[in-house]
Structure 1
């Protein structure tokens, strides 16, 4: 099994996604599995985004530049993603966190 957070793991999870039928059959019941799958995809995307923002900061990107790429003001990007992901902190414990 792939390590959680790896590119291959992300791709495998995304490949399992089946979009809902835009016109469900009449009388079709709601299934929680579709909602659960969507939540899983969102979780993967959020972890990936936080990691990528962290790496951009390690490369010296400004919050304004990160915000511009993501379509939000730099200050909004800083408030949302300035905390170093815990697993990256643990993995790189000796390295310093990018300046906030």
Structure 2
């Protein structure tokens, strides 16, 4: 009984953390896709891609998870542009398994 209660308490404490991460990710990906700034990635430098992703993440994210989110979204930047039919929720599965 104590184990069940402890597990439930732990789940209740952790779920808002993942919900916030998923919300930050979803809002950031939506802003990146809507801005279409990655449409011609072949013509962009790595710094330009990083700056573009960082700009949109910083508008939608707060806290210590933002640097990891920026890094993760830069790593999948080609998918943010190429997967035009994918929703932000689908793309965030790569980052936070939302």
TM-score interval (norm. to shorter): 0.3 to 0.5
The structure whose RCO (Cα within 8 Å, separation 6+) is larger is 2
TM-score normalised according to structure 2 size: 0.40
TM-score normalised according to structure 1 size: 0.39
